[in-house]
Structure 1
């Protein structure tokens, strides 16, 4: 196990009816800008609950944050905050709204061009406005971590950033807020959380059995609960609660403390989203099986462990067990209704060179836990994903 520091300051308010806790979680003197995506928060009544809980606090709402939140939209919010003097932000939505809020919180006090926040991956963030979140779509874990991803569509760029300054002060997690989600979004959430866990677990042995068992427990839980979420005729509170908490734990820093991490699947997936507007989770489902096959030698020991502990694969040669573990992963995604081939999204071999060129332009030339996934390896992964 590597040396590590673990600090997560986000207060989690979990359970039914916890939106009302905003009355005590948001500072009484705050001037609040609520940030939302489309009209769903208004239609479902969540936004009305939020406004009621804010009571007499001055507040306004900024709507229109897109899935894969855009830089230009975020900068509109930055300008409104600067001109109207808001001093506390409240994200109401899923990972896209929370990611955008993190960037906005950092960009408001930033001296210089906020685009450089993304060019430097957040390393130049010196401060940020305080903010909280009301989670309505469990998937990304953004509600309890210090990272985000912003898209600049005019450049075809989707870039990550992180900073200790952009942890949410709090996050309200009420599983009943997921009851109106379409099945596709539930499936995306399961796959997103699954791949987040894999990126921190499926690398090489580092003598970290606590982190391994935590990660394996999350993966097994997602495999169990995922199909039930899709098959249920009516929302089941306990299953929605399980997904919500599993997605948060998958990326709040706990399972990644002191262990090697990969993230190559995410970096390649980001480029597919930026170029072809495929849902983030679906790009992960496209790339991961191909990546695991390509890296089956480097990941051999952990693939065998993964196959045994997560999928119960104990018979066959080592190569057969590894192949079965990868195939089980692909089959799970497809059973969740998420296709795992580029051709399933109307894409052919012509996309490969464009994605590789984007990886090169964004400096993604040494990926993976060994930093040895170069552009040639990324190309092979994409070709295997066709």
Structure 2
């Protein structure tokens, strides 16, 4: 066996964020092992990478705020003069669902979120392509209705998105700048232990590395490693197929386009690729239930019924959009934590074995904060972009968090 100090399994946005945060505060040798041949082959590559602040729990708002702060200051955060990725501050608007209230805006503002309350006229003035209708569209028969509004809506003015594969490339550059070694085509198949502590990892090609610390950031493949150390049954973490639709951005749409969380239509959407496309995902719990036995083998297209229903909801939300062109569908994987749809982050009962798993669709926006939680636990020292949320909030040995609704919006 070769030797190193810390092994991070997985070079997605979580794994690279962990490695980067560790490299900022320790001189230990850090090795990232990624089974794929390149960046973006796991969950991160298909992520919509929406950066929104609103969550049910204040701690999650704080974690999202800390993660988004890193993306909004990406060059400073990574110490890169010319990063590939940039934060698109389009704003995030919440429409329908009856959540737009003065109390909710006051809660977000108390937590440091730039949130405001809009009425119908405000929506039309700021985002003329959007209808403020609060009646759910008929997603089965497609029957039209007379739109009605009159509610209040929340705008997070500092929300937006960042292109995920660009962010991965920047993270790879940053970790290598800080002395981290990253190996691709290196599938970890085993965890070596001595006296209830991590002693190393073995790879599919028969090689291995002796080490004293391992961070499991392997996304939908996490259970394969958890099972090796008898921890797979503690949390119900399930690789889950998540479908998306995409179409060409119509050139005639007026005004700016925010990230839209359309709770009435059961969708969210945002622009992509310099406003060349719009991508559409679901916010419905029933669309987060298709588990995958083998994350290496799943249907990467999208079901025709899914694409049709989501695009019908888009046309309801943007009635002037006209015929949709360049329509396609694709799928990626979340690792859903069926106990409470929150990540599991921190040390496990096996000494030196840390996890950052079960992100349930929240992983991209939280990644810098999750990296901070792991790095604080291992190295102890502080960094300017650290989160102040207690490590116990998402810890491995915590109780499931009680929620009114278990979905990606949690």
Higher relative contact order (CA 8 A, sep 6+): 2
TM-score for the superposition, normalised by structure 1: 0.24
- Give the helix-richer structure, 1 or 2: 1
- Give the strand-richer structure, 1 or 2: 2
